[in-house]
Amino acid sequence: MEFFSGWILDARETATGVSFWVKGTSGEVRPFRMRLSPSFYLAGQEGRLRRAAQLLEGKGARVSFEEKREFFSGRQVLALKVEAPSPRAFRFLVRVAENLAGGESLYSSDLPVEELFFIQTGAFPLGKVEVEADGAGEARALSPLEENWALDYSLPPLTVAEVRPVGRKGVSPSHQPWVSLEVSCEGETFELRWEEGEEFIRSFRSLLLSFDPDLIVSEWGDEFLFPRLLEISRLTGIPTGLSREGAPEAVRGGGRGRSFFSYGRIIYRAGRASFPGRIHLDRRNSFLFGEVGLEGLVELTRLSRLSLERVCRASPGTIISAMEVERALRQGILVPSRKRQVEQFRDAASLVEADKGGLVYAPPLGVFEEVAEFDFASMYPTIMAKNNISPETLDCPCCGGPAIPETGTRTCRKRRGLIPEVLEPILERRRVLKRRAREAASPGESKVFTARQTALKWILVVSFGFLGYRNARFGKIEAHEAVTALGRDALLTAKEVAEREGFSFLHGLTDALWVKKEGASLEEYEALGRRMSEAAGLEVALEGVYRWIAFLPSKTRPGVPVPSRFVGLFRGGEVKVRGLACRRRDTPPLAKRMQEEMLQVLSGCRDRRELAQAGELLEEIYRAYREDLLSGLVPPEELAVVRRLSKPASAYGENTAAAWAVRELLGRGVNLPPGEKIAFVLTSTGGKGEVPKARSLGFFSPDDSVDLEKYEELLRRAAEEILQVVSMAG
């Protein structure tokens, strides 16, 4: 037997257990195998369980009876533990049990084997471990050398390779003529010509074996690059070298993608291109990578015990769910494989009373000076933790806790809920990381702490929405409504405190409020924040004091204010913008740059008087951008309009610009599932009043005619949004 210490890079299910790769402190990567006997549970009537035990034992399972806790009731119940001899047998036994007892009787039967491996061993991806193994690489024991919740940790010494297509930036290679591939590693960059076939694949393999990267970061790798690279490998018979197992068939080239609905939008995620022994992250197939970077992804990987590849592509809801599942398993709670709880029946009046969402005020229109903004720190997650709100703690039969305003719901005072137990350490960890980011010795160190706390912010934000998600294992809509009711009450309490202290209340938006008092000092505003925190029972932090802030009207109804549409300048010089064109994803880069330049001018205006005098300079900026546009020298990338397809491509039959681009791409054989993003340039049709046609950005050529009239209109509208601030100040 020998011992080997290092960081776990990757773990994969095998027929008999798990294969995993460990990178040692000297840089050597060693593969290991470990046998695993995954298990699941059945619950129900004792007689039925005993009959199931006999049948499953006859199918090769090891069975035993255990006392487990039922989630909603908290009662100890008899459960049948079904232990499979291998991962392959695990899925077979789950199917047998489901046919025998029904899916509603199954618990922990749908958890991935890799996830069970980390939970059972106590290890976690990118965590340091010591492996005891024989000479053939069979691991007999795996000992974690650090805690996954440790606040201070370091990344393993990863060799990183970047792989990206050469072409128009921001456009999928499947949406443009394909040319070459750029590979960067250890400070060197190589360009490989795609059309060279065998020579291309040989060059790629040579680079991969030479640098032997632990982490491959790609752009469009899942959806395009690696599926096609593996196809060339199959046709030529030349292995890619992507797998550290040395088995080409073990490399997955993307697989099937999926479209799903999330927070009002259709999202598309390409299937994962995965290489045993290496980590592959695709920037273009990840929401979180762009928000929190590698440091934030590692933070979530450690806490959730999900692989870095999965965290990169997962929604924050998937990550918080994994953390809930692990906590439930450690507490002996039966984890349902399907959601059990349905919404209780209520009459229409009760539903209207409870289901109001966050509290939103309509702000007064105009420009105001010396206004303070206060934010509730992680309002909803804090409410859940502080008030013990969890699906199983609502309206418990054991005690009569205080009623929640408007809903009448009560929470248990004796039993601590699963959701608060999961959220409390995350909330505390984020507070510490935010403090460390402020106190960091260097900008680089501050950036790392900021990325880590931002990653936690995202799963805290989603934890509230997940509480009411129809498919959440531990969700219940009544719990979701209880949280918003307490949020409304907290905002009203803070508003009343401010008004009682002589401050004018201007605006309130779910977890933030804006107040003003002539001549108030920073110390007075900070003192007000402390008094609001004490009264509301939640932390209310001073976001900052604005030199000026403009609350803007609706673009279609000029006299009607829009709660989330404003522009303001903090005393420190930072401009805060909500609801303008530069914040929209479908605004062409040219219009965004113009607005940002105009906002830079506004950042130099210290008060209303200077703001009112900025109009001429803003007009000059607009005219300069308009002249650039009309000169025809603006590159097509600056004119790109990006849209996310909200329905199947075949359903785009109308004569809109997006429909023209969709039809063009379909005609070129491009697959366009719902949720896919397309980029196009508006082109002139030569006839006034016609619906503008469009060309896909990737196939736009110098021969195409840009619809200058339409882009001139877009620029003018974007300029008017900023000029409106100046006119309101006059």
pLDDT tens for 195-238 read: 878 899 999 999 999 999 999 999 999 999 999 999 999 899 99
Please give the structure tokens belonging to residue 127.
Answer: 């965590």
Question: What pLDDT score was predicted for residue 398?
Answer: 76
CA dist., res. 158 & res. 297, Å (int): 15
Question: What pLDDT score was predicted for residue 691?
Answer: 54
Give the chain's length.
730
Question: What pLDDT score was predicted for residue 730?
Answer: 80
Given a contact cutoff of 8 angstroms between Cβ atoms, the answer to whether 681 and 640 are in contact is yes
Q: How confident is the model at residue 34 (pLDDT cuts 50, 70, 90)?
A: very high
**Cα 158 from chain centroid (whole Å):** 24
Please give the structure tokens belonging to residue 490.
Answer: 């907290």
Question: In the predicted model, is pLDDT for residue 251 greater than 70?
Answer: yes
CA dist., res. 32 & res. 142, Å (int): 10
Q: How confident is the model at residue 485 (pLDDT cuts 50, 70, 90)?
A: very high
Residue type, 340: R
Higher pLDDT, 57 or 263: 57
Mean pLDDT, the chain, whole residue set: 91
Higher pLDDT, 562 or 402: 562
Percent of residues, the chain, with pLDDT higher than 70: 95
Question: Residues 490, 493, 497, 503: is their CA dihedral positive or negative?
Answer: positive
Mind listing the domains of the chain with CATH numbers? 366-416+472-579 (3.90.1600.10), 633-705 (1.10.132.60)
CA dist., res. 502 & res. 141, Å (int): 66
Question: In the predicted model, is pLDDT for residue 627 greater than 70?
Answer: yes
Q: What is the mean pLDDT of residues 603-625?
A: 96
Q: What is the mean pLDDT of residues 252-268?
A: 77
CA dist., res. 565 & res. 553, Å (int): 7
Q: How confident is the model at residue 16 (pLDDT cuts 50, 70, 90)?
A: very high
CA dist., res. 666 & res. 132, Å (int): 55
Question: In the predicted model, is pLDDT for residue 243 greater than 70?
Answer: yes
CA dist., res. 20 & res. 18, Å (int): 6
Question: In the predicted model, is pLDDT for residue 657 greater than 80?
Answer: yes
Question: In the predicted model, is pLDDT for residue 137 greater than 90?
Answer: yes
CA dist., res. 77 & res. 100, Å (int): 20
Given a contact cutoff of 8 angstroms between Cβ atoms, the answer to whether 71 and 333 are in contact is yes
CA dist., res. 422 & res. 416, Å (int): 11
pTM (whole model) above 0.85: yes
Question: What pLDDT score was predicted for residue 389?
Answer: 93
Question: What pLDDT score was predicted for residue 510?
Answer: 93
* Distance (Å) of CA 140 to CA 121, 658, 712: 12, 58, 69
Task: Give the tens place of pLDDT for each residue, 306-364.
Answer: 999 999 999 998 999 999 999 999 999 999 987 655 556 555 555 555 566 788 999 99
Q: What is the mean pLDDT of residues 389-397?
A: 87
Count CA within 13 A, CB hemisphere, residue 481. Answer: 19
CA dist., res. 319 & res. 325, Å (int): 10
Residue 372's H or E segment, with its range, is strand 366-376
CA dist., res. 113 & res. 135, Å (int): 25
Longest dimension (CA), the chain: 86
CA dist., res. 434 & res. 457, Å (int): 11
Task: Give the tens place of pLDDT for each residue, 537-575.
Answer: 999 999 999 999 999 999 888 889 999 999 999 999 999
CA dist., res. 43 & res. 114, Å (int): 24
Residue 708's H or E segment, with its range, is helix 708-729
3-state secondary structure of 97: helix
Helices (H), 271-378: 288-304, 308-313, 316-330, 348-354
Residue position matching structure tokens 């990118």: 126
* Residue 353, strand partner residues: none
* Beta-sheet strand order (sheet of 693-696): 641-644, 677-683, 693-696
**Cα 301 from chain centroid (whole Å):** 13
DSSP 462: H
Tell which residue, 630, 603, 638, has the closest CA to residue 617.
603
Instruction: Residue 570: count other Cβ atoms within 10 Å of its Cβ.
Output: 17
Q: What is the mean pLDDT of residues 724-730?
A: 92
Q: How confident is the model at residue 402 (pLDDT cuts 50, 70, 90)?
A: confident
Q: Which residues contact 277 (CB under 8 A, 6 or more apart)?
A: 9, 10, 21, 29, 31, 243, 244, 245
Tell which residue, 516, 723, 719, has the closest CA to residue 612.
723
Question: What pLDDT score was predicted for residue 279?
Answer: 97
Q: Which of 256-270, 306-320, 510-524, 706-720 has the lowest mean pLDDT?
A: 256-270
Instruction: Residue 688: count other Cβ atoms within 10 Å of its Cβ.
Output: 6
Percent of residues, the chain, with pLDDT higher than 90: 76
